[in-house]
Structure 1
Amino acid sequence: MGHHCNSVVSFCFFIISFLITVIHTEADKTVPALFIFGDSLVDVGNNNYILSVLKANFPHNGIDFTDHKATGRYTNGKNAADFIAEKLDLLTLPPYLSLVKASNKSTSFLGGVNFASGGAGILDHTKQLFASISLDEQIDYYSTVYGELVNQLGADATQKLLSKSIFGIVIGSNDMLGYIRSSSTLPRNTTLPQLIDLMISILPGQLKRIYNLGARKFAFIGMGPIGCTPSQRSLNKTGECNEEINYWSHTFNERVKALLEGMKSENNDMNYSFFDAYSQLLDFSQNPDAYGFSEVKEACCGLGNLRGKTPCLPISLYCSNRSDHVFWDFYHPTEAAYRIIVDNVFEGSQPYAYPINVKQLAAL
């Protein structure tokens, strides 16, 4: 009798777990695909395929990634793009340029793709400075993907897929950094306020282009406090943040929020979540204990003051305790910091996630 009960119970468990799996799979389909545009904070290897000085496909990058291999991610492990994909129950997105030569590329676009490039910016001058794939070019690539999807699925099914998909955008930092490093490719005497005006005058057209190619759910991750990166702190004898640069990073975010609000008021079928990375990273440095960090100024991997003078090169020194550092190298967060940031991108509330978080955006 006991055996019979056991078999019935185990059969019931099988049915229940099967149903849960089916229900879960159906629920996952709320977001069928993720498309990422941006810079090195979300590049998963596109720069490996182009002639650019900005690369991360060498040690010690990737030391905590699968097989401890460097992949072109500018961090010790996973970056924001990886965690966003995981949260949506999607596989990590391939870098677009890895698919261009693939024979079955049309099917590989169905779950989305990552166009991000280290050094990319809103303005094309970042392309000249860093030899990266600018946001305009990334949108050109997306336009190609859109065409492939229409060929494969037809226009209606493509629009249905894209209207449920999330379009993640992380851009703007390199426009600022390029300006700080040398404003040589901009008109002479350009000021920081003029730079922000210029970025905010160009960005709406770029977002509108993505919208016109089917995007309806935008997840925009704002600019962090660039003045608090090890690179900028290392220029200051006391290791404090550059407050002027921070002020303009914050200003950029406020302008982007207004831009997205305006765009939504013009397009009823568009929704967005804006994440205030500025406040989040500032909170890391002001309340590190609350997040499990003990080192907020010094990079884990690099050379010079605060290890903030060079990228993470094979000759660089690197820390053994990566999880308690906010920064991996002179500009980029550690995997530990990215994980917390993306948790809050998804679950956060105002003022961090505005007007809704990405979990709520996905459910719309």
Structure 2
Amino acid sequence: MAENVFLVGFLFICFNFSAAQMVPAMFVFGDSVVDVGNNNYLQLSFARATLPHYGIDFPTKKPTGRFTNGMNPADFLAEKVGLPTSPPYLSLLNESNRNNVSFLTGVSFASGGARVLDGTDPFVLQSIHLTQQVDYFSTVHEEVQKQLGFSGAEKLFLKSIFVVVIGGNDILGYFRSSDLRNKIVPQQYVASMVLTLKAKLKHLYNHGARKFVIVGIGALGCCPSRRRETKNEECNEEINYWIIKHNEGLVSMLQELKSDLKDIYYSYFDTYTVLLSLIQKPAAYGFVEVKAACCGLGSLNAEIFCLPIAAYCSNRSDHIFFDRVHPTEASYRILVDYIFYGPLQYTFPMNMRQLVAV
């Protein structure tokens, strides 16, 4: 086994992998948009996508912990760079052999319900928040150093992609909590989110990360659960306004980070604008239903999540949203194409494909 690990490490250090594999590894941090099953291993969590009809269009046709009908952005991004989907970190803790080579192609720390500001979550044990995700990466960093040595690990992380998709739960949580709104004004709240994320990115940088894909928060005010609370089922403009303000702060922060850390590279994706484009011009992207969820019950199928008692649509590729919050696989596929290929209008200062080549 030791010889096999050495061989794999040598191949990765020399980057002598297949032509389809563009990077040695992908490390994923975030929330339910990119969770591939970490929450399945949280015994006290109810935030799991383990019941029908989640996964109905996944290759296995079974729930996997992905909060959609099929594959999610973590799967599609891995596919783009020729890697297997990064496995859930908590699934690897059950492995009897901790020198698992899975670490060498990446790991996912993403968790449904995760927040940037973990102290604001009233359901603390339901999710792995960003602070804990970053701490878990520190453990993985040590494991990779044991396997490849300091120099080998440094080379691996230098070329790897670090994907960060988080913040939506913070925003939605703020507007659901009268306690939070009484304690802090929205300007301070989104500013605190940005500053906290900056500190976490610096931590990852100090542990060898150099290439980041940062995904901005989408137009969550237009998701079915928020539409059903407004007159005429329109988007919640207050939520969308503060998402825009958060994303503007995030872009400024990334520019400052690049100024401070010359050898850091990033691709920022303007999810908000692209998702809104899908909603406002659905026919151009092959969609029909922009307001209602595919799976759920009640008005807009958005009064409950996609539980086994819920009805679900047969024409899932026609819907932008699968459940009351999460997009369908069809929506995610389009969003990831934008992340990977651009254009500069939506992915800047470079797209993911260009980031890989740096």
Do both proteins adopt the same fold according to a TM-score greater than 0.5, normalized to the shorter chain? yes
Q: In the alignment, is residue 177 of structure 1 matched against residue 184 of structure 2?
A: no
- Gapped runs of 5+ residues in structure 2? 1-14
1:89 correspondence with 2:82: yes
Counterpart code for 2:34: V
Structure 2 residue corresponding to 1:38, chosen from 27, 30, 34: 30
1:203: how far off? 1.4
SS of corresponding position for 2:107: strand
Distance 2:39 2:341 in 1: 31
Does the 8 A contact of 2:21 with 2:81 survive in 1?
no
1:152-167 maps to which residues of 2 (within 5 A)? 152-167=147-162
Give the drift of 1:350. Answer: 2.1
Q: Judging changes above 3 Å, is the alpha-carbon distance between structure 1 residues 179 and 187 closer, same or farther for their aligned structure 2 residues? A: closer
Instruction: Give, in whole Å, the separation in 2 of the partners of 1:73 and 1:236.
Output: 28
| Per-residue deviation, 1:265 | 1.0
Query: In the alignment, does 2:248 pair up with 1:257?
Result: no
Gaps of 5+ in 1: 1-22
Checking the alignment, whether the CA contact within 8 Å between 1:127 and 1:133 is kept in structure 2 is no
Secondary structure (helix, strand or coil) at the match of 2:218 reads coil
Partner of 2:119: 125
1:59 aligns with 2:52: yes
What's the counterpart of residue 143 of structure 1?
138
Cα distance, 1:125 vs structure 2: 2.7
Q: How large is the Cα RMSD of the aligned pairs? A: 1.5
Identical-pair percentage: 54
Q: Secondary structure of 1:188's partner?
A: helix
Are positions 1:237 and 2:228 aligned together? no
CA distance in 2, matches of 1:29, 1:58: 33
SS of the aligned residue for 1:168 comes to strand
Q: CA deviation at 1:25?
A: 4.7
Aligned to 2:91: 98
The within-5 A match list for 1:272-283 is 272-283=266-277
The answer for the alignment partner of 2:3 in structure 1 is none
Aligned equivalent of 1:300, options 294, 302, 323: 294
Pair 1:183–1:117, CA change in 2 (3 A): farther
**Aligned partners of 1:196 and 1:248 also within 8 Å:** yes
8 A contact 1:120–1:134 mirrored in 2 = yes
Report the Cα distance in structure 1 between the residues aligned to 2:247 and 2:20, rounded to whole angstroms. Answer: 31
The TM-score with structure 1 as length reference comes to 0.91
1:168 aligned to 2:163? Answer: yes
Match of 2:334 in 1: 340
**What does the per-residue CA deviation read over 1:53-98, in whole Å, with 9 as the maximum and x for residues that have no partner?**
2111110100001221001100000001000000010001111000
Deviations 1:108-146 (A, max 9, x none): 100001000000010013543362101000001000000
1:320 to 296, 314, 335: 314
Change in Cα spacing, 1:141 to 1:67, as seen in structure 2 (3 Å) is same
Count of aligned positions: 341
Q: Are residues 1:108 and 2:113 paired? A: no
Secondary structure class of the residue paired with 1:238 = helix
Q: What is the match of residue 11 of structure 1?
A: none
Partners of 1:311 and 1:105 lie apart in 2 by 36
**8 Å Cα contact 1:120-1:126 kept in structure 2:** no
Distance 1:71 1:55 in 2: 9
3-state SS of paired residue (2:214): strand
SS of structure 2 residue aligned to 1:114: coil
Contact 1:38 1:169 in 2 (8 A): yes
Matches of 1:232 and 1:361, distance apart in 2 = 35
Work out whether 1:271 is the aligned partner of 2:265: yes
Q: Distance in 2 between matches of 1:201 and 1:363?
A: 29
